[in-house]
Chain A
Amino acid sequence: MSNKNSNYHSIYLLFLPLLFISLILQVIRLPEILDENRPDVILLVLLFFALINNKQVTIIFAWFTGLILDILSGATFGINALMLATQFYLILTPFSHFPQYRLWQQALIIGIVNLIVHIFCYWFEHLIGITFYRPSFLIPSGVLVLLWPIAYFLLAILCNAFSIAIKPKENSLT
């Protein structure tokens, strides 16, 4: 068993480059139609790696990634960090059997939590008087639901290709 484990590479071999790529995808300049519907790709990457190894990918990682996103996008310090950390926490902590759920169930939970956090953000911005009503701000959550199964399969294939251990599902969050 120990020999088998030693053949696996560290999770960071794939996680950190993918996190960097997702950060780029989050700030890259896109045409207006795509820009409005841009999903939180970073959240997908963080969640996938937290599912396969929740000891190494924790909420602290999500928070620091959010801080880097704040700096890159010029947003108020801490706002994206809080949004990412909240989503990470709301998905992985109350749903203790989240890894055992079917993919469509996971996608639905991710989409709903993302939607709730975006609505809270919208309310907060509305309270301080810097926002306007635009129903399209809910579309990225829908895109996220559709994207999760695709992202899951692609990332699993990459993990296999890079010999990264995927923990058994029943132990992943306990």
Chain B
Amino acid sequence: MNTPDQSNIINHLRFLVVAVLSLVLMFVDVRTKLLNNFRFYVETALYPILALADSPNSLSRLVTTQFKSHSDLIKENEELAEENYMQKADLLRLRALEAENAAMRKLLNSAEQPASKRLFSKVIDVDSNPYLKRVVVNQGTNAGVYQGMPVVTDTGLVGQVISVNYNFSRVLLITDQNCSVPVMNSRTHVRSIATGSGLDNELLINNVPRSTDIQIGDQLITSGLGGVYPEGYPVATVSSIGYSETQPFALVKAKPAVDMDKMRYVLMFFYNNVDNDQNDGVKPKQPSDGKVILRQKKIKTLIDSLSISNAPENDQAQEQNSQKEQPEHVE
């Protein structure tokens, strides 16, 4: 039987061990990619717990839907039918505008911007850590979701996918402090960077010179620069502008277009998967994972070594390809 002193020493030792282990794990997780695979499989295995955690929410929605009165349903149906009718009419105009836009781009010898594939998904969890603004959605690698995928709703930009599991993925919201979005003022076309403030209803617009033409109520849309987010999606509306004589830049705040607390469904864009062979315009950012690049290089070397006889032809082809690619790298 342990004396109280011995028991205290054991407790001290146990704490020391778990503290050191925690620090090592944190370092390994943040600085290296050693735990990525482990995390993928364990998080995928624990998905039922996340789904279970969302069940009260789903149940309350189900009950609310089930207990709607007949007259409410008729009214809602009429409203939706009217909205659908209006949107169909708008769609006709959109198609005509798209065709016109394509024709004008051809005249200007500029590349067309093909529409991206979209994936509908449901928000199943919100991160409980007050310092992180992230949500979990119910689509993962099984549906083709990849890291860096832009996420939007019907009202505007939500954020991008930061980690993917087999059947769910985590989305970093634009309101998170680690998230910055290249934006453009839709009225003046002035470009700037919108950064999350950590608050749900506020974005900070950095480095806006005091002389810039910006007004409260201006809509900020994605500029498409950086290659992560597609161009033209509403991000926020300017809510306040502060000037100080001592500061070289104006203090601009904006209200996000999407109410992050209330969103239930999102659309995920396969933006990087657009067929870029036909698109000579701005190319999205390519993944810069060292392992992937090394693997690709190995495969390329292997293919080259297997086809030595065609080497001169390959070299010529590679030269041609590199000549083709050169203008794209300039941007």
Contacts and interface: CB of A to CB of B under 8 A. Distances in A.
Nearest to B123: A29
For A77, A96, A125, which residue has the most chain B Cβ atoms within 10 angstroms?
A: A77
A86 B21 CA distance: 13
Interface size class on chain B is 35 or more
Interface stretch (B41-49, B81-89, B298-306, B309-317): B41-49
Interface in B1-18: 4, 7-8, 11-12, 14-15, 18
A169 interface: no
Contact of B49 (A24, A35, A86, A130): A24
B19 A72 contact: no
Contact of B11 (A36, A79, A89): A89
Contacts of B24: 78
B130 A36 contact: yes
A80 B18 CA distance: 12
A79 to B, nearest CB: 6
Contacts of A74: 43, 127, 134, 136, 163, 170
B18 A59 contact: yes
Interface string A38-64: 100000000000000000001110010
B218 to A, nearest CB: 25
Nearest to B56: A28
Q: What is the interface of chain A mostly: helix, strand, loop, or mixed?
A: helix
Nearest to A74: B170
Nearest to B7: A174
Interface string A60-99: 1001000010011111111101100110010011001000
Contacts of A72: 46, 49-50
A35 B42 contact: no
Where chain B touches its partner, the secondary structure class is helix
Given A28-B56, A59-B18, A174-B7, A71 B46 contact: yes
B39 interface: yes
Given A58-B14, A77-B35, A29 B125 contact: yes
B177 interface: yes
B130 A28 contact: no
B197 A132 contact: yes
Contacts of B56: 28
Contacts of B18: 59-60, 63, 81-82, 85
A58 to B, nearest CB: 7
B30 A76 contact: yes
A79 B30 CA distance: 11
Contacts of A76: 26, 29-30
Interface string B71-84: 00000000000000
Contacts of B43: 71, 74
Given A27-B49, A27-B53, A130-B178, A75 B132 contact: yes
A137 interface: yes
A78 B23 contact: yes
Given A59-B18, A78-B21, A131-B177, A73 B127 contact: yes
